[in-house]
Amino acid sequence: MELKNAVAVVTGANRGLGRHLAAQLVGRGAKVYGAARRLETVDVPGVIPLRLDVTDEGSIREAARVASDATLLINNAGISTGATLIGGDVVDVRREMETNFFGPLAATRAFAPVIEGNGGGAVLNVLSALSWFHPADLGSYAASKAAAWALSDASREELAPRGITVSALHVGYMDTDMAAAVPADQKVAAADVAAQAMYGIEAGLPEILADETSRYVKQSLSAAHRPNAD
Ligand SMILES: NC(=O)c1ccc[n+]([C@@H]2O[C@H](COP(=O)([O-])OP(=O)(O)OC[C@H]3O[C@@H](n4cnc5c(N)ncnc54)[C@H](OP(=O)(O)O)[C@@H]3O)[C@@H](O)[C@H]2O)c1
């Protein structure tokens, strides 16, 4: 899709990757709703603040009513609790699944009729190399991103006849708050990832592999032993 004429809704647009996505969309001429839990935290010039908590279906419905001209939904908001699946607190496991899987699902269900009604468009889901690589110490986060990967594939097929393209963006570590504890040399720039997202949406790519880690992990899926299965 052409971003110049797009009307985008970016969840989690107040910081991290979402802030870069919102700014770059504005730079390409799109109208951008910056969705966040707290309106006052959205500070990207040219972006229209939109209240949206991805764990609150009422707020999602209201956002879809306000942003009734949307043609592009970017499901970017996410959390990482660090919970393990067996020993971790199940409250964190559920919170991660609510935010990283049920959140994008609810937003896609709410915005699909809006986008379709506006002549079609696109959904981009921000996923992770951990959609495919499931280390124990990030088991809960990885499970939520694996579920969101399945959501991306199934919704792509379901929404195609309605004129909506679904892309999934996979990336390893980025230089945002979420990966603050990760050494700098293991992270890629969120601005660069956002630029690849722009290209991928415009090209209608089903999958955007934004760094070396995600390309390596994806390639390893066909191996007899996956990266963490030795
Ligand atoms: N950073 C990495 O290394 C990395 C790697 C792979 C994938 N990702 C994915 O990239 C996406 C962006 O993450 P990031 O790195 O930019 O992290 P971040 O800097 O921690 O930002 C997370 C964003 O999500 C928002 N958010 C969290 N829960 C929300 C909710 N219930 N409703 C609405 N917004 C909510 C946050 O808003 P508040 O300010 O209100 O908390 C914030 O804007 C996420 O999906 C993440 O899983 C990140």
Mean pLDDT by 10 residues, the chain (230 residues): 97 98 98 98 98 98 98 99 98 98 98 98 98 97 98 98 98 98 97 98 98 96 68
CA distances from 75 to 125, 151, 230 (A): 5, 12, 33
Ligand 1 atom with the smallest distance to the CA of 187 is: 3
Output the pLDDT for position 159: 98
Pocket residues for ligand 1 (CB within 6 Å)?
11-12, 14-18, 36-37, 41, 53-55, 76-79, 99, 126, 128, 171, 173-174, 176-179
Identify whether 4 is a catalytic site residue. Answer: no
Q: What local confidence, expressed as pLDDT, does residue 225 receive?
A: 64
Active-site residue identified among 33, 145, 173, 187: 145
Cα–ligand 1 centroid distance for 78 (angstroms): 4
Q: How far apart are CA 211 and CA 189, in angstroms?
A: 10
Backbone angles phi, psi at 82, to 5 degrees: 80, 10
Say how many Å lie between the CA of residue 28 and the centre of ligand 1.
23
Among 37, 44, 59, 217, say which to mutate for ligand 1: greatest number of ligand atoms within 8 Å of CB: 37
- Which pLDDT does position 223 carry in this prediction? 83
Catalytic residue among 33, 141, 173, 187: 141
pTM of whole model > 0.95?
A: yes
CA 18 to ligand 1 centroid distance, Å: 7
Ligand 1 atom with minimal separation from the 52 CA: 33
Asked if 73 and 102 count as a contact pair (C-beta separation under 8 A), the reply is: no
